[in-house]
């Protein structure tokens, strides 16, 4: 087993080797096509990050999250599609190898992987997805392989999270990292709103009709920052605002006044970015998640103050004399759905497909709904049908049997998070745990109106929270 000094020497040697190779390569590639140059530069940087991920899987864990959030920027700059999934799979495999051969990972873990109820439900869900390979309602198994590949990616990430979060120190590090990354995304989103989309972003959207339809609404651009689309951006902005608000209610001895000012700044930029994203589902996530937190912490004076201020702000936005802002108008439609024709159309579509749900207990098969169905199962009864709901997609593709498993799994996740909160005594620990519960609850409620948990960015965050939730059920080191 390599010592820490030996690992550092290997890293230094590999970086020197990569630099020696990169200098002539960059000089040569710069004279070629701009798109090809972008791909090569990205490959060189990715190779360096991959080496780090293999040697130190804990560092690689955070690199993986950052790359997953920002990988769409070079894609837009190159004006071409980059195989993002392949990049993510490579990082995960390297992290997994690093975790397997890491000295600390060989120490006996106190997580009961074979008896933990939540993990057992996860194993049952995994087995059910594997059985879907034989679903006779699918026209092609190509979509099944794509789906399983993405699921295995999330599955591995969940277990790596459990290994990384071995102490409260690691959990603190995760939340600091996530708030920094989320705030950077929020600031970039605010910049996009202030100066408009950059030329390469406008060009990329213009050449992609599907992107254009989701970004441009009523002549106004929905902001997406450096993430995949406005929906993913809005969901993560709501999550960041919830966590920062929860931490803001901490006592002075836990979170100092300067840090509270910083949290207040984070909340403001997240709320602005959330509004600019134009994601109505994310608008609903914010009060839903904070409602759970307020109900659990009504005994806390700071919580009551935060609840009063939040309620006053919501009422002012919903019923105040503000009629010229497109952002506020769209925000209001999220809570006054009866006035929105698109929401009424979604309800009609859901009622129309109900007979199919009742007659197909195992569903129509994975990747048969919506645009995925058109691509992988053309001619299928569900192809082209837009579910606009994570739960509706689950019941259509996996049947009501699969939906029951999904609901049990989501319930167990919330149950674990709330139970962890009441079993802790440290104030900061309790706030982080109830913040996790609030975010998870908000995402799972948002699943009713949108596939919030199925987006790449939100699924990474949700699986990270689930991994922390499972890990904190067992004894953790309390060192800070």
In the block, tokens 């994570």 appear at 390
22-36, 167-181, 198-212, 279-293: least confidently modelled range: 22-36
d(CA 304, CA 307): 5
Residue 358 to residues 168, 354, 366, 396: CA-CA distances in angstroms? Answer: 46, 7, 17, 10
Band of pLDDT at residue 229, cut at 50, 70 and 90: confident
Q: Which two tokens stand for residue 433?
A: 């745990």
The tens digit of pLDDT for each residue in 58-89 reads 888 888 888 888 878 877 777 766 666 677 77
The tens digit of pLDDT for each residue in 362-386 reads 988 898 888 888 888 888 888 888 8
Q: Tell me the residue length of the chain.
A: 480
Running DSSP on this structure, what letter comes out for residue 473?
Answer: T
Band of pLDDT at residue 479, cut at 50, 70 and 90: very low
The mean pLDDT value of the chain amounts to: 80
Averaged pLDDT, 234-262: 89
Q: Is the pLDDT of residue 23 over 70?
A: no
d(CA 258, CA 263): 9
The percentage of residues in the chain with a pLDDT greater than 70, rounded to a whole number, is 79
CB 289 within 8 A of CB 237: no
Find which of 58-62, 81-85, 122-126, 422-426 is predicted with most confidence, using mean pLDDT.
122-126
Looking at residue 48, its pLDDT comes to 65
Q: Is the pLDDT of residue 219 over 70?
A: no
The tens digit of pLDDT for each residue in 128-170 reads 999 999 988 888 888 899 899 889 988 999 989 998 888 888 9
Nearby residues of 53 by Cβ (< 8 Å), 6 or more positions away? 59, 60, 63, 64, 91, 94, 95, 98
Backbone angles phi, psi at 185, to 5 degrees: -65, -40
Nearby residues of 356 by Cβ (< 8 Å), 6 or more positions away? 364, 381, 382, 396
**What residue spans of 320-389 are helical by DSSP H?**
326-335, 341-359, 370-376
d(CA 376, CA 362): 18
Looking at residue 140, its pLDDT comes to 84
Nearby residues of 85 by Cβ (< 8 Å), 6 or more positions away? 149, 150, 153
d(CA 35, CA 57): 31
CB 156 within 8 A of CB 148: no
Band of pLDDT at residue 1, cut at 50, 70 and 90: very low
CB 278 within 8 A of CB 222: yes
């Amino acid at each position: 087993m390599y010592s820490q000094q030996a690992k550092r020497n290997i890293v230094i040697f590999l970086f020197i080797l990569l630099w020696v190779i990169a200098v002539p390569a960059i000089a040569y590639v710069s004279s070629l096509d701009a798109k090809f140059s972008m791909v090569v530069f990205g490959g060189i940087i990715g190779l360096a990050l991959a080496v780090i991920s293999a040697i130190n899987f804990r560092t690689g864990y955070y690199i993986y999250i950052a790359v997953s959030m920002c990988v769409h920027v070079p894609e837009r700059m190159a004006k071409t599609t980059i195989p993002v999934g392949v990049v993510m799979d490579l990082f995960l495999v390297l992290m997994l190898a690093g975790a397997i051969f890491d000295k600390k990972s060989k120490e006996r873990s106190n997580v009961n992987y074979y008896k933990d109820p939540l993990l057992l439900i996860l194993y049952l869900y995994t087995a059910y997805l594997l059985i879907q390979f034989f679903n006779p309602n699918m026209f092609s198994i190509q979509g099944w392989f794509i789906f399983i590949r993405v699921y295995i990616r999330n599955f591995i990430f969940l277990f790596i999270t459990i290994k990384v979060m071995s102490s409260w120190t690691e959990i603190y590090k995760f939340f600091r990292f996530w708030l920094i990354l989320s705030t950077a995304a929020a600031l970039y989103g605010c910049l996009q709103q202030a100066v408009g989309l950059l030329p390469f972003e406008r060009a990329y959207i213009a050449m992609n009709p599907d992107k254009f339809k989701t970004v441009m609404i009523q002549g106004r651009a929905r902001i997406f920052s450096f993430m995949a689309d406005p929906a993913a951006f809005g969901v993560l902005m709501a999550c960041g605002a919830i966590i920062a608000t929860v931490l803001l209610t901490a006592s002075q001895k836990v979170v100092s006044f300067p840090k509270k000012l910083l949290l207040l700044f984070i909340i403001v930029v997240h709320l602005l970015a959330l509004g600019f994203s134009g994601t109505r589902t994310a608008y609903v996530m914010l009060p839903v998640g904070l409602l759970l937190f307020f109900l659990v912490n009504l005994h806390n004076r700071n919580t009551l103050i935060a609840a009063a201020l939040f309620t006053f702000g919501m009422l002012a936005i919903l019923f105040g004399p503000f009629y010229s802002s497109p952002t506020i108008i769209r925000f209001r439609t999220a809570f006054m759905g009866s006035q929105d024709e698109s929401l009424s159309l979604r309800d009609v579509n859901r009622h129309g497909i109900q007979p199919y749900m009742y007659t197909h207990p195992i569903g129509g098969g994975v990747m048969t709904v919506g645009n995925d169905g058109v691509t992988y199962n053309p001619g299928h009864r569900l192809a082209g049908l837009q579910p606009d709901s994570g739960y509706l997609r689950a019941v259509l593709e996996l049947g009501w049997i699969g939906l029951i498993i999904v609901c049990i799994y989501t319930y167990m996740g919330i149950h674990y998070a709330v139970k962890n909160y009441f079993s802790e005594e440290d104030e900061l620990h309790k706030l982080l745990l109830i913040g996790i519960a609030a975010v998870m609850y908000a995402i799972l409620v948002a699943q009713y109106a949108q596939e919030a948990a199925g987006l790449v960015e939100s699924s990474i965050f949700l699986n990270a929270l689930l991994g922390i939730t499972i890990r904190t059920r067992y004894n953790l080191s309390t060192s800070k």
